[in-house]
Amino acid sequence: MNWMRDMLKWVLMALVWAVGSGAQAAEPSEYVLGGGDTVRISVYQNQDLTLETRLNEAGTISYPLLGNIKIGGLSIADAEKKIATGLKDGNFLKQPQVSILLIGATANQVSVLGMVNKPGRYPLISGSNKLSEIMAMAGGIIPGSGSDTVVVSGLREGKAFRKEIDFTKVFASTGTEPDFVLANGDSIWVDRAPQIYMYGEVQRAGAQILMRDTTLLQALANAGGLTLRGTQRGIKVHRRDEATGQVQVIEPGLNDKLMPNDIIYVKESLF
């Protein structure tokens, strides 16, 4: 009966971890400028350099002394630095202090949410409207935490649209998954990476990230292997059937692939 108590303990711990981690919401990143936005640019003690202007579709403005300069795709702080650097490097001002005020945010935008480094809203700039480009703006998927399946939802021709994209295949040499073209108002969701739960006679019991095509043998290795009392015989996997909600108990082979949320129990050897 000891193994039953252990099983219940780890199941409860798994549930607590899932609820606790899901309750954490990432803060949105700083606003990123895009085509259609209206800004007011001012330089301290240089009234003649004050300009209220609208970014064109490519995210470019025409600014005094500097000419055409692209600030689309930059945060407001980075855009301020870019203009200040241009004024300084051009020997127009020694220590320019540039301020940018967002007057109107009308750029085509998409939202990036979930397990990315910089969640928030990002502009669709001409020539930069593909999934990989927007994900790069968002800092990419958090290593070891985010799923490699990205969900894009929005509207297409007035109808609700949803597509799951295997992000790893976008960069595969075979090009099996084309780089998805985004539209205004799309939402990109990166879920938490799937997990499994290992308990019983292993060195490091607990939750572990389920990598693609992970086998039972690989999961045991990730858990540090068996303890001196553990045995590979009779390993049980508790797996919930998505269709019925029923939990099945199976005894897989070492080379069988595991599924998300599998609970693996390694029993103690009797000999």
For 83, other C-beta atoms within 10 Å of its C-beta total 24
pLDDT at position 20:
36
Q: Is 119 exposed, middle or buried (0-12, 13-18, 19+ CB in 10 A)?
A: buried
Can you tell me the distance from the alpha carbon of 222 to that of 236, in angstroms, rounded to the nearest whole number?
Answer: 17
Q: Say which DSSP state 255 is in.
A: T
pLDDT at position 79:
95
According to DSSP, the residues that pair with 128 across neighbouring strands are 125
pLDDT at position 8:
42
CA distances from 245 to 238, 240, 242 (A): 12, 6, 5
Q: Say which DSSP state 240 is in.
A: E
Q: Where in the chain are all domains bearing CATH 3.10.560.10? A: 2-20+194-266, 108-192
pLDDT at position 59:
87
Q: Is 151 exposed, middle or buried (0-12, 13-18, 19+ CB in 10 A)?
A: middle
pLDDT at position 152:
94
pLDDT at position 100:
95
Tell the CATH topology of 38-104: wza like fold (3.30.1950)
pLDDT at position 6:
46
pLDDT at position 125:
72
Q: Could you say which residues of the chain have pLDDT below 50?
A: 1-29
Q: Which CATH architecture has domain 2-20+194-266?
A: Roll (3.10)
Map residue 230 onto helix, strand or coil. Answer: strand
Class of domain 108-192: alpha beta
Q: Where in the chain are all domains bearing CATH 3.30.1950.10? A: 38-104
pLDDT at position 175:
58
